[in-house]
A = this chain, B = another copy of it.
Amino acid sequence: MPFELTKDFIEEIKELIEIGDNQRIIGTVTELHPADIAEIMEALSMEEAKYLYLLLEGDLASDVLVEIPEDDRKRFLAELPSEIIARQYIEYMDTDDAADVIGELPSDKKDEVISFIGDEEHADEIKTLLAYDEDSAGGIMGAELVAVNENWNVQICLKEIGRQAQEIDEIYYVYVVDDKNHLKGVLSLKKLIQYSTQTPISKIYNKEVISIHTSAHREEVAQKMEKYDLVALPVVDDDGCLKGRITIDDVVDIIREEAEKDYQMVSGITGDVEMSDSVLNITRARLPWLLIGLIGGILGAFVISGNEQSLERIPNMIFFIPLIGAMAGNVGVQSSSIVVQGLASGVNDFQSISRKLLKELGVALIVAFVLSGLILIFNLIFDIGNSGHSLAYIVSFSLFVVVIFASLFGTFMPLFLNKMKFDPALATGPFITTMNDILGLLVYMVIGKFLF
């Protein structure tokens, strides 16, 4: 029966914790998947979660520790001595998880924890992983993999795999290396089962193995595994030596995180924040953009007050201030986000920036004609506040200019940021959007001063 977390179940656990019936808590919980236990802990209070967690042991305790949110893990580990962290948790973890958890510790505690790891090989592997940038393939990979020598036959391989596999949860591919550990190819377990024991594996392994360099960025890792539908990707160094492997579950997390980062940027939230976070944390993630928006609003006030001649000429221009501002922002965000999404998908494309801008100009011209045409017709027919034709022409012409400008600027900025090695998603963020608003307003006021 698959587990389903219910409110009743949480209440039951809370009661068991209150009366301290450890036996029954352990009985109820240890049958569950670590991800389910982590979910239960999130639904409990901090104290209750800690109580429950400390009843767990060995593999299960370390698996649950990997599943709980980073903040909770940090807070929990901060209270424990390094020796306990090493002996009770790190030793049971795969190298990639261990490196992630140790990487989150304060720097003085890192070395101490590593020094307490009993298994020296495990400690060395973790140290090697920690040396890589955490956003690189080297930083994501784990050392756990099954490798066989290209000169072996099926029988030796099966025996060797059985031995190596004892420390590994799941084998997806078996990698084939030469005597110097150069990655030569990949072999599926399926083939090993299908061929007779004396078959040399050189005859059956696939030499077209897809790998990635230790220094590749994690987005590149995700794009490659997604493109080629891989569940594991071997990682090699400059010499082509096999250093580790990345599994798809890590990549799923990367895809989710990268998508969330872009989403948060365009919706004006800084940092990773969730509904379940504290009021203060949520506020902290939301204020920065709003402050930029506030400054933008103040600049807008200066733009209007500095161009009062326009309003003296045609007072009813104020009616369409919200329209011009909103359209400038909307058009700019649309343009930028199409570019950002294209860059994130990692699809190769060989169009130059100027070709892209030319295409965007095409889109912008159509959009600008439609929108300013519609508003012209509306204004000529309804003529709000008896403003006369001048206002109609000013609004339409301004909207036209603003749409063209915001489109081109919105397309150019993320491409430019990307070329300068910044995150292109910044272009969908508060700074550029606010700038578009204000420039739109300025265009409107200046056109109102001099034209029609």
Most buried by B among A158, A193, A249, A267: A267
Contacts of A81 in B (CB 8 A): none
- Interface locus among A71-79, A327-335, A416-424: A327-335
Residue of B nearest to A296 (CB): B326
Q: Which of B256, B308, B311 contacts A259 (CB 8 A)?
A: B256
Identify the closest chain B residue to A258 (Cβ). Answer: B259
Chain B residues near A370 (CB-CB < 8 A): 287
Chain-B contact segment, one of A51-59, A114-122, A126-134, A272-280:
A272-280
Distance A171 CA – B191 CA, assembled complex (angstroms)? 10
Query: In this assembly, does A305 line the interface, its C-beta being within 8 Å of a C-beta of chain B?
Result: yes
Bound together, the chains give a CA A253 to CA B74 distance in angstroms of: 32
Report how far A229 CA is from B67 CA in the complex, Å: 11
Indicate if the CB atoms of A171 and B158 lie closer than 8 Å: no
Selected contact of A172 from candidates B208, B231, B260, CB within 8 Å: B231
Bound form: Cα–Cα A334–B327 in Å: 19
Interface residues on A, range: 35 or more
A107 interface hit (Cβ, 8 Å): no
Complex: how many Å from CA A42 to CA B351?
Answer: 12
Within 8 A of B (CB), among A295-344: 296-298, 300-302, 304-305, 308, 311, 316, 318-327, 329-331, 333-334, 336-339, 341-342
In contact, A348 and B5 (Cβ under 8 angstroms): yes
A308 to B260, CA, bound (A): 43
- Is A428 an interface residue when CB atoms closer than 8 A count as contact? yes
Decide yes or no: A248 and B259 within 8 Å by CB, A170-B188, A367-B283 being known contacts. Answer: no
Docked complex Cα distance between A251 and B5 (Å): 23
Which residues of chain B are near A170, meaning CB under 8 Å?
Answer: 188, 190, 231
Kindly specify which of A16-24, A98-106, A136-144, A358-366 makes contact with the partner chain.
Answer: A358-366
Chain B positions within 8 Å of A320 at CB level: 297, 300-301
Say yes or no: is A50 at the interface (Cβ < 8 Å to chain B): no
Contact B330 A305 (CB under 8 A): no
- A349→B252 contact, CB < 8 A: no
Chain A binding surface SS class: helix
**Please, which residues of chain B bring their CB within 8 A of the CB of A43?**
348-350
Task: Judge if A451 is at the interface, Cβ distance under 8 Å.
Answer: no
Q: Does A269 contact B (CB under 8 A)?
A: yes
Alpha-carbon separation in the docked complex, A10 to B351 (Å): 13
Please report the C-alpha to C-alpha distance between residue A62 and residue B322 in the assembled complex, in whole angstroms. 53
A89 to B125, CA, bound (A): 47
Beyond A10-B350, A193-B162, A334-B286, whether A252 also contacts B248 by CB under 8 A is: yes
Residues of A214-265 at the interface with B, using a CB-CB cut-off of 8 Å, are 225-229, 231, 248-249, 251-253, 255-256, 259-260, 262-264
Cβ of A27 under 8 Å from chain B: no
The 5 A-B pairs at the shortest CB distance, nearest first, are namely: A297-B323, A259-B259, A267-B337, A300-B322, A301-B319
Residues on A lying within 8 angstroms of B by beta carbon are 2, 5, 7, 10, 31, 33, 35, 39, 42-43, 158, 161-162, 165-166, 168, 170-172, 188-190, 192-194, 208, 210-211, 225-229, 231, 248-249, 251-253, 255-256, 259-260, 262-264, 266-269, 273-276, 279-280, 282-283, 286-287, 289-291, 293-294, 296-298, 300-302, 304-305, 308, 311, 316, 318-327, 329-331, 333-334, 336-339, 341-342, 345, 347-351, 356, 359, 362-363, 366-367, 370-371, 374-375, 378, 384-385, 428, 430, 434, 437-438, 441
Q: List 8 other contacts, CB 8 Å, given A35-B228, A259-B260.
A: A2-B210, A231-B248, A248-B248, A275-B339, A289-B334, A297-B322, A304-B319, A326-B329
